[in-house]
Amino acid sequence: MTKLTSLTLAQARDGLRRKEFSASELADAHLVAVEQARALNAFVLETPDLARAMARTADARLAKGEGGPLEGLPLGIKDLFCTKGVCTTACSHILENFVPTYESTVTANLWRDGAVLLGKLNNDEFAMGSSTETSYFGPTVSPWRRHGANAKLVPGGSSGGSAAAVAANLCTGATGTDTGGSIRQPAAFCGIVGVKPTYGRCSRWGIVAFASSLDQAGPFARTVRDSAILLRSMAGHDPRDTTSADLSVPDFEKAVGTSVKGMRIGIPKEYRVPGMAAEIEGLWQQGAQWLKDAGAEMVEVSLPHTEYALPAYYIVAPAEASSNLARYDGVRYGLRVRGRDVAEMYERTRAAGFGKEVRRRIMIGTYVLSAGYYDAYYLQAQKVRTLIRRDFEQCFAQGIDAILTPTTPSAAFAVGEKGRIDPIEMYLNDVFTVTVNMAGLPGISVPSGFDANDLPLGLQLIGRPFEEETLFALGAVIEQAAGRFSPERWW
């Protein structure tokens, strides 16, 4: 029998249904793997007792033939999702001991369908970062290493713990959130599949907010099929989230393996950024050829406002963060640092509770929303956002079914290598991903090749609103051509 932790989510699901092993055996195997991989710092909280209890419940349901779509499958949950009775910190000191009394809609959907909680996964503090180095609990280390080198690499961010855990076979899948690329970028860095659904496809209720008009939950998995299975359970209308789309959820798994013949795939010329590595350009061309070989048509398209997306994003997102994080004041919950009066208590609590990157973004956001600067910055950024959305609408109106781009401008870099002197150096990691969030579109990153150091690279597919099925069909073509990637174990 294949080692239990090496099974894909679909294989594990089918094995449980055939009674080849039990949910308890599957959970125990993954709990051991988590214990042995603590050097990666992917989990900030392990929940072995809860996992075993949930697995026993799953075994009882499977024995009666009542198992749900995810019955007995062990998952990791990004520490941005509130989990009832289980500590949820957003990887910030200010929420270090916060235990929610409620469950996020996305995780409630997963438990409804029978999934098992292994623990909470590391992320950049309040999801603000591209490398999982801003976490209060320390950085996550990628399970990948450069060929012939031992330098610790970042797994990407902000959902780096999720990506690292899935890539290292610590869980069959994981949840993430994507505000500007925080699912797709770490998926590319770690050689796995990451899906950012259409804004509104998954409920945001019970997820610690970063930028409310950009945040969207999505799955990490080792295969396109696995990510489709997870998304079906995660998605759905939620009346508690006014931005949640009141649409039925398709069986995304059925789209995997369907024909892409006749589909028109856009290749945006603006994504050929100055200084882009030749290996990224080569991979992009290879991906286009794979889709062409499967019967799709490649069409050069223009998204003329792409160059303004990154600066506009870094105005809109911090502005919303500044508003959302005002609630962390030491009064109702979380950290409290006493002062001589309420104002000083606010100041001391927020100074002690928030890390450097979070404080930086709050200050940027407060500045662009302030009197005299609102029109010059925030209002202009929202106008740019409208133009970016219009670019995509015009492209799709010309019969384009999806758009193919690189996911990241490079492979993973070393811990401490970027952003210490110039934060913008780190922000540039999002150059290919932020447009998708600004326009509210679905996107998927699929592992597609390697760089010169044998590190994984991904290709991104961007789809029409609520047409994730097209992305799963196209993603499966790339996956079949490129093969699956696994790091050599060193931890």
Specify the DSSP element, H or E, that contains 10: helix 9-17
In angstroms, the Cα distances linking 176 to 81, 210, 217, 421, 484 are: 9, 13, 6, 28, 21
Nearest residue to 318 via CA among 362, 356, 276, 376: 362
- Cα dihedral sign, 12-16-18-20: positive
Cis status, amide bond into 158, omega within 30 of 0: yes
Q: Does the annotation count 64 as an active-site position?
A: no
Can you give the length of the chain in residues? 491
Q: 81 near 209, Cβ under 8 Å?
A: no
Q: Of 22, 78, 196, 418, which one is the catalytic site residue?
A: 78
Active site annotation includes 78: yes
| Residue among 99, 91, 157 nearest 125 (CA) | 91
Catalytic residue among 92, 135, 142, 182: 182
Distance of CA 256 to the CA centre of its chain: 20
Let me know: does 167 contact 189? Beta carbons within 8 Å.
no
Q: In terms of Cα–Cα distance, which of 313, 302, 297, 281 is closest to 406? A: 281
Q: For this structure, is 182 an active site residue? A: yes
Of 142, 158, 162, 322, which is the active-site residue?
A: 158
Residue 71 to residues 9, 54, 75, 120, 218, Cα–Cα distance (Å) = 11, 10, 11, 19, 19
Which residues carry out catalysis? 78, 158, 182
